[in-house]
Amino acid sequence: MLQAKTTEESPKKTIRNVNYAVTTVQKTDMPKGGKGRTWYRYVIEGGYAPITGSRPGTQKQIKEYASLLAEELNARSGVGAPSSWAPRQKK
């Protein structure tokens, strides 16, 4: 009788090389119902689609905020991190 050969494979890790970075910080109009004098719009690129947001403050404050956000996104998409779009594996 023939026996099937079985091998155990280690799960493959998805390696994504994503580098999010702030590409734009520009003055914008205050949104309806917003508070504060000066608003800035920021754009972070590096993933599938640009991430945009608006905040009140100085240009320096918004650059610092957006840079921190980009760093956090880079940390979340680090080596071995599964994609949120990947199908879930049944155990």
Strand order in the sheet with 21-28: 21-28, 39-45, 51-56
The predicted model scores a pTM of 0.66
Distance separating alpha carbons of residues 77 and 47, to the nearest angstrom: 10
pLDDT for the residue numbered 13: 46
pLDDT at residue 67, rounded to an integer: 96
End-to-end CA gap in the chain: 31
pLDDT for the residue numbered 62: 97
- Given a cut of 90, whether residue 68 has pLDDT beyond it is yes
**pLDDT tens digits, residue range 39-53?**
999 999 998 899 999
Q: How long a stretch of residues is the chain? A: 91
Please report, for the chain, the start and end positions of each structural domain, with discontinuous segments joined by +. Answer: 21-76
